[in-house]
Structure 1
Amino acid sequence: MSADDSPDLPLQDKPCAQCGAAAEQRCGRCLSVYYCSRDHQKEHWKAHRLDCKPYRIETTEDRGRYLVANGDLPMGHLVISEEPILTGPSYTTSALCLGCFDSVDGSYRCKGCNWPLCNRKCETAGSHQLECAMLKTTDIDITDFVGPNTSYQFITPLRCLLLKSRDPARWKLISGMESHTEDQTREYRMEMGRNVVRVIRQTLGMDEFSEHEIMKVCGILTVNAFELFTTGPNKDRDSTPRAWAVYPTTYLMNHDCLANTLTSIDSKNKMHVRTRMPVKKGEALTAEYSECLWGTEIRRHQLHRYKYFWCSCQRCRDPTELGSFISSHRCTNCGGNVVATKPLDFNSTGFRCESCRVIIRGEVLKGTNHQVEEEVFELESKELETPIEEYEDLVERHESILHPNHYAMLRCKKFLAHAYGRQPGYSLAELSEDRLNKKMEMCRTLIDTLEIVSPRFNDDTAHFLYELHAALVEVARRRHDLGLISNQEMVVALTEAKHILHQALKHLYPWNDGDLRDLEAESKAKKSLEALDGWIELVENSKPNKQLENTKPTKPVENTKPTKPVENTKDSKPAEQDKPKQEKQQHTAKKSKGKRKRKGGKGK
């Protein structure tokens, strides 16, 4: 091993890449090349530039091509920053602008092809110009602006195919990605054949592209594209991802259900990959392409269905899922936690209670899982139409047989923790004391669980910390208004809410290459902090609460115990003290992915 390769040598024993003298500094980007001076680093840049990467590509028979760290990388180190090769609508999108991917209502249409767009600027965008002349020859008329619209499915494959003649360099990059055409299901091939192959070859008359070539492109997009989060029909950035982007390097990262990197896409669709935790030299760089709050069986099936591999990471192998118990049931014998004895074997019938060790038949638990899954999916598919009571009923009916952290329960709690305080008729001021307490309990459950399965810089965690602070403030306000707590106790409660908000801010993506959702959430959280500071000052300078005079001190504000310190708010709205307008809750079931919800595929 050379001195350059040895991680154990002190900095001064590393040779300068330019002259060989003892080094005094190293390249801040790749962390693997050393220099005796700033001048020698500048002189060596021309030779070093092409190799200046904190990662390298390795290939093995079982993993294919994947990225590993070139050196020891600290938490937050920028690993990749790159522009997309291609962008376009996803296969499940609703109607959107073909230029910027924002929502559309049909009020503005392209003068060339008559497809709905945002404005003149998007009409002349280079991305739309690729297909505009061809769309003009079709009779496709976009009139549905609400649900998923299959008329958009052929657009991104078409853009990809057009690169073959118009941009051979980009075509070479994309065509070299893994497509897994041999693994595509009959259902997938039928859908793509009907909505993509037929449209391109027959409707557009582009028979120079064979069915096999088109299906390969469809597969490349499914496996390797990353989701772009754009504004939804109600201009809500927390909507289902409706557009895709393909990147030249990021797609090579392997999956892990507890990934060591964060992927973030900024407002210009540029990809930024940073380490989520310290990564050792030679360690694989991993991303998460599944939904962290789903159980092992669903995560593995989704990954196999859309990415064509079976995950066997540490979390998937652990019956308790790292102590989160997201797939666990309640033991009907003793109330203990029932876990799978062989979590990677779906055909295994072995489930055991951790407390009384009783064995439970697998088909019974799997049947319950599938039944509850269907109920949750049905509720989520209704979106705005689903009343809060239906989610509450589902939780109450199953809480005696499912672990509080069971993935189906968490899906419901995630909806309720957000909906309490936001849906019409359920503002914080209108919530009953029981529902306020439930909101706080659900927020704590979600926060603690996310801290296990997705630690550090998780915008979902930040979001529910924000929701928790809002509920705590409302409880304190009510008790203070009723004279049940003193001014001093009110200040203690508001200070605790501030502490929780600070935790939320720590969980937000802290670097300046984050996307707009983090920037908006940070702004709202800081405004809430300012409001709390003003409220605390007002209470401290006010006269003692008259209703408490000549009475004994009461207990501290309920449910104000500190949450576990966590680190990175979703697209949260200000707490009740900020007096926002009531907004409708939009809840959309996500098809397969999650984490910071800016994820994509794995190609080799």
Structure 2
Amino acid sequence: MFAPSQSQNNNLANNKSNNDNEGFCLDANQNVFVRVKCDFCDNDAKFACARCEASWSCCELHGSYHQLPGACAPFKVCRSNAVGRYVIANRDIKAGEILASENPLIVGPNQESKPICLGCLAEIDVSYLCERCGYPMCDKDCSNSPEHLQECEILRRGPRPNFSNDSINTEAYHCILPLRVLLLQNQDVSRLLLQFMDHREGREGSDYWKTSQKFVVDHLRETLKFDQFSQDDIHRIIGILEVNSFELHSYGNSGYRGVFGVGSLLSHACSANAKILFGKEPPFASKLMATTDIAAGEEIVTSYLDPLQSTLKRRNLLKTGWKFECICQRCLDPTELNTHLGAFFCPRCTANTQKTSIIQPTQAGELICPDCLYQVQTDEYLQLMDKFSEKIKYTSTEERYNVDSWLELIQEADKYFPKTHQVHQEISRWLVPILCRGYSKTFADFPIDQVILKLALARRYLNLLDKVEPGLTRNRVKTIFEVVDVTLFLIQDKLNTGCKISNQDVSEFYGTETNMDNIITDLSKNIDEMIFIFIKLGAHSGFEVWISQQIPILKQRLNLIKNSL
């Protein structure tokens, strides 16, 4: 769609065959040519979009980011001294719209990983090693693939690395993605990558700086004799990758990451409005999708980490990994948009008076009890959270389907945290899908108090998602299903007794004051939302496929209830 513009008005270029005019456009008001830069790099522009005549590029690749099938991309790239480049909507955008379709500029294995093929990036064992460099590969075809051949010529200069099927290699994979960037032949890709910030000031002297010095810089320059790039050059590439890469896929103990021309431009927000849908097979074609409605002029943002973590945890991770202090609306609100994810019981009040005074972290991160004024040390609080995170990790790994283990963990968490806390919400994420479910069983086969608990956990978790992970997400569609499924059962169970359902009845099991008309309306909207999310995201896991198959049944159950009221 990109071609030299033929327009001579509206401040657009009269693109002539003479290269001397490249990078200039005619200012109709002043009747002079002014320099125009590419939207995505600092090069002079050569092409204007022939459709909208409002976007400029220096090459076909950079111009492709402005193109969607039959339309122009609904965003523009802006620049500021504070954050560098960022992206804003140039028109109103609806949730579910695709904003960009792109392949990663560069892709490769995570820094530390179990064996992974350097050709197709599949998870593998060590039964086949590249004959030249000794890295694990799927087979000879992958070892001779274009993705690997060039780097192989460099890697073969060093000693063969040691790999095991059962352990994570903490050394050999660090250098792969930086080496791939340094070996790039496509200057349009290289130029785009070098536009990204590397945050050297924040990284220098850090633990990973020392690790990358040993396993990337020194390994490439000294061990492999790949010394045509300076230490500073290599550290810059490492920084660009560390700050701007996304993990495209994780196998658990292995995975791969990549940098995107558009997706990696997005700033972080702890409650995002867009998400990258990563491709899982080469060339890893991915889409940037709006997860909520976005107004014209609003910044398009994504989340770099799990948004279900509390502010103290998120800000620490962002400072460590991405070298910035987040000042989004959620981080500046001590209540975290009224989610209270970080609030916990004062240990002194609990021990001395049995009073459940709640400590709410301040904007500055201080942890002071409003009643006894006792100040909890941040490290002490984070250690407590880490202890529960380890317990959740163990239970999800070793006892994932053991409901009693999860219920015991809830009882233990109750001693330290209100029900709104991150720890309780993490437990709900794992427990809700398995609670009151079993082979050939229905909700009627379980104690009614457990069924009501399942609804309470699901509704509380959904309320959290409304604020910190709004819009079109897989978390949301699965949680909505649980709420609808249990609510329909409880209503039908009451109707089966022959009793009329009062507003008090529905308010009791719904956990808030409401009435039947409101619940029926909400359930209908919930089902429509589930359909819309699956249309936009698809159903990938077995559980998601099963949920999508249950939607027509949910609609039938809802209609039966409507007809019986």
Alpha-carbon offset, residue 451 of structure 1: 1.3
- In structure 2, the residue matched to 1:161 is 182
Alignment of 1:374-453 (within 5 A): 374-377=387-390, 379-380=392-393, 384-386=397-399, 388=402, 391-420=406-435, 436-453=451-468
Cα distance in 1 for partners of 2:438, 2:211 equals: 36
Q: Aligned partners of 1:92 and 1:277: how far apart in 2?
A: 34
The alpha-carbon distance between structure 1 residues 537 and 277, as it changes in their structure 2 partners (threshold 3 A), is closer
Identify which of 538, 544, 548 aligns with 1:526.
548
Give the match's secondary structure for 2:417.
Answer: coil
Structure 2: which 5+ runs fail to align?
1-9, 12-38, 40-48, 58-71, 502-515
Equivalent residue for 1:170, pick from 189, 192, 213: 189
Q: Is the 8 A contact 1:498 1:529 kept in 2?
A: no
Contact 2:126–2:165 (Cα < 8 Å) also in 1? no
- Alignment partners' CA distance in 2, 1:191 and 1:273: 32
Displacement of 1:360 in angstroms is 3.6
The CA deviation string for residues 107-158 of structure 1, in whole angstroms up to 9 with x for no partner, is 4544554433345554443222332334444311321345565432221112
Deviations 1:238-281 (A, max 9, x none): x5782111112322222211223232223452232233333333
Residue 538 of structure 1: how far off its partner (Å): 13
Shift of 1:68: 2.2
> For the structure 1 residues 366 and 191, does the alpha-carbon distance in structure 2 shift closer, same or farther, using more than 3 Å as the test?
closer
Partners of 1:254 and 1:285 within 8 A in 2: yes
The residue aligned with 1:11 is none
Matched, 1:318 2:333: yes
**Contact 1:505–1:522 (CA under 8 A) maintained in structure 2:** no
**What is the CA–CA distance in structure 1 between the aligned matches of 2:423 and 2:458, rounded to whole Å?**
15
In the alignment, which residue of structure 2 is the partner of 1:243? 256
What is aligned with 2:271? 258
Matched position secondary structure for 1:59: strand
Aligned to 1:182: 201
Aligned position for 1:551: none
Does the 8 A contact of 2:318 with 2:325 survive in 1?
Answer: yes
Partners of 1:227 and 1:241 within 8 A in 2: no
- d(CA) in 2 for partners of 1:68, 1:367: 40
Tell me, yes or no, if structure 1 residue 328 matches structure 2 residue 343.
Answer: yes
Task: Check whether the contact 1:255–1:287 (CA below 8 A) recurs between aligned residues.
Answer: yes
For the residues of structure 2 that align with 1:446 and 1:440, how far apart are their CA atoms? Answer: 10
- Contact 2:116–2:123 at 8 Å: present in 1 too? yes
Q: For residue 174 of structure 1, what is the amino acid of its counterpart? A: L
1:62 corresponds in structure 2 to 82
Q: Which amino acid aligns with 2:241?
A: L
- Equivalent in the alignment of 2:51: 45
Work out whether residues 103 and 286 of structure 2, in 8 Å CA contact, stay in contact via their aligned partners in 1. Answer: yes
Mark the runs of 5 or more structure 1 residues left unpaired by the alignment: 6-29, 31-42, 233-238, 353-357, 540-555, 557-604
1:214, 1:288 → 2: CA distance? 27
- Residue aligned with 1:508, SS: helix
Pairs within 5 Å for 1:361-372: 361-363=374-376, 367-372=380-385
Deviations 1:416-470, CA, capped at 9 Å, x for gaps: 234547899x998997666555444322221121112111112112223344566
| CA displacement at 1:296 relative to structure 2 | 0.8
Letter in 1 for 2:530: L
Does the CA contact (< 8 Å) of 2:291 and 2:473 recur in 1?
Answer: no
Are the structure 2 counterparts of residues 134 and 365 from structure 1 closer, same or farther at C-alpha, using a change threshold of 3 Å? Answer: closer
CA contact (8 A) 2:473 2:533 kept: yes
Using the TM superposition, name which of 433-442 and 189-198 deviates more: 433-442
The total of aligned residue pairs comes to 482
The whole-number CA distance in structure 1 between the counterparts of 2:195 and 2:558 is: 60
TM-score between both structures, scaled by the size of structure 1: 0.67
Q: In the superposition, relative to structure 1, how do residues 432 and 102 fare at CA in structure 2: closer, same or farther (>3 Å)?
A: farther
List aligned pairs for 1:284-295, cutoff 5 A. 284-295=299-310
CA contact (8 A) 2:291 2:471 kept: yes
Partner Cα separation in structure 1 for residue 129 and residue 523 of structure 2:
47
The one-letter code matched in structure 2 to 1:168 is Q
Letter of the structure 1 residue corresponding to residue 200 of structure 2 = T
Deviation of 1:215 after TM superposition, in Å, equals 2.2
Q: Kindly provide the amino acid, as one letter, of the partner of residue 317 in structure 2.
A: Q
Native 8 Å contact 1:469 1:497 kept in 2? no
Determine if contact 2:104/2:259 at 8 Å carries over to the other structure.
yes
Report how far residue 406 of structure 1 moved: 0.8
| Residues 75/428 of structure 1: CA separation in 2 closer, same or farther (3 Å cut) | closer
The 2-side partners of 1:531 and 1:109 are apart by 51
* Identity within the alignment, %: 21
> CA distance change for structure 1 residues 534 and 311 in 2, over 3 Å: closer, same or farther?
closer
Q: Mark the CA change 1:50 to 1:456 in structure 2 (over 3 Å): closer, same or farther.
A: same
- CA gap of 1:55–1:468, structure 2 versus 1, over 3 A, is closer
Query: Post-superposition shift, 1:503?
Result: 5.6
Q: Distance in 2 between matches of 1:213 and 1:444?
A: 51
Q: CA deviation at 1:486?
A: 7.7
Is 1:96 aligned to residue 102 of structure 2? no
Query: Residues 22-45 of structure 1: CA distance to partner in whole angstroms, max 9, x if unpaired?
Result: xxxxxxxx9xxxxxxxxxxxx953
Between the aligned partners of 1:153 and 1:517, the Cα distance in structure 2 is 34
8 Å Cα contact 1:58/1:65 also seen in 2: yes
User: Deviation digits for residues 28-65 of structure 1, max 9, x if unmatched?
Assistant: xx9xxxxxxxxxxxx95395664754323322232322
Q: Deviation at 1:83?
A: 1.9
Query: What's the counterpart of residue 226 of structure 2?
Result: 206
